Structure 1
Amino acid sequence: MSRGGHVGAGGGDPDDVRAGATLLSDSITEVAVTRLRHAVAAAAGAAGLAGDALEDFVLAVHELVTNVMRHGGGSGRLRLLRDAVSLSCQVTDDGPGTEHVPMALPQPRTPGHRGLWLAQQLTDSLAFDSGPHGTTATVTARLPGVQSSG
């Protein structure tokens, strides 16, 4: 279940994986959180993730979405992408951005602040791009049975 790693590209259906395609693109709002979780699960499952890998990916994305609600201004955008070897989910918030993204596991007595650490552990990679108009977090999972050409 625990993977950790580096970010990959994303996008595409089985007939167009070289160019990449967006499988899901939607706004993040408080009322959309549960619907987005179900939509990500359905799209990631249809793209080839299953079992623990699917559950891990969906939970990692959910952690990023809830971070948007708690720390990123309360709204944003989610994009689920597929390429020939992986799924990526970009979660962008409308917050002020940050210079430091805490990724270490907090001390046991520290409440909260485990979402990013968990997202990193549950996927092959977690990467950030932050600026004055928000932060984009991207989680990536390799698709089962697919070999990288690089």
Structure 2
Amino acid sequence: MGSGAGDGGATPGASPAGAGVALLAATITAEAVTRLRHAVAAAARGAGLTGVALEDFVLAVHELVTNVVRHGGGRGALRLRRDGDVLSCEISDNGPGLGDVRVALPAPTEVGHRGLWLAQQLTDGLEIHGDDRGTTARVTARISAGAAGG
């Protein structure tokens, strides 16, 4: 959602969900969290994401994956794709949905609830769509023009 957090709109320059080349597809479970973090890091690195951008993207995806485990029914799906110079990761669950999503930094006294805010801050874009059938969150990162890979 980038600057339009909460409006469900696309981030300018982001590729449509499902476009590009599939790099990774996996099922999210509590037991798979660590393995998925490593797999996302390896696939994103292989696609050309490097340095701090790689670390930030992997942390953002990790936050969304742990949200599925904690709040989204414990099970979901992860899809990592590359479309040109845009890397995107879509995380979905079949949980109760988020209702009206407002991505904001919680008060310093509030414990937790920083995952969506972190995902938004650490990536080039965050989109969230939810209803009573579940939630789908999508983060994007731009790969630098001189990057190697796919």
Say yes or no: TM over 0.5. yes
CA positional deviation for 1:11: 8.4
- Paired residues of 1:10 and 1:88 also in contact (CA < 8 A): no
The answer on 1:42 being equivalent to 2:42 is yes
**1:20 counterpart letter in structure 2:** G
Match of 1:125 in 2: 125
For structure 1, which runs of at least 5 residues remain unmatched after alignment? 13-18
The answer on 1:22 being equivalent to 2:22 is yes
Structure 2 length normalisation: TM-score?
0.85
- SS of the aligned residue for 2:31 comes to helix
Match of 1:101 in 2: 101
Structure 1 length normalisation: TM-score?
0.85
Seen in structure 2, the aligned counterparts of structure 1 residues 75 and 69 have a Cα distance that, compared at 3 Å, is same
Match of 2:138 in 1: 138
| 1:52-101 CA distance string (max 9 Å, x none) | 00000000000000000111111000000100120000000110212222
| 1:7-65 CA distance string (max 9 Å, x none) | 722689xxxxxx61210000000100000000000000000000100000000000000
Seen in structure 2, the aligned counterparts of structure 1 residues 40 and 106 have a Cα distance that, compared at 3 Å, is same
What is the RMSD computed on CA atoms of the aligned residues? 1.8
- Percent identity (aligned): 63
Match of 2:55 in 1: 55
For structure 2, which runs of at least 5 residues remain unmatched after alignment? 4-10
Match of 1:9 in 2: 15
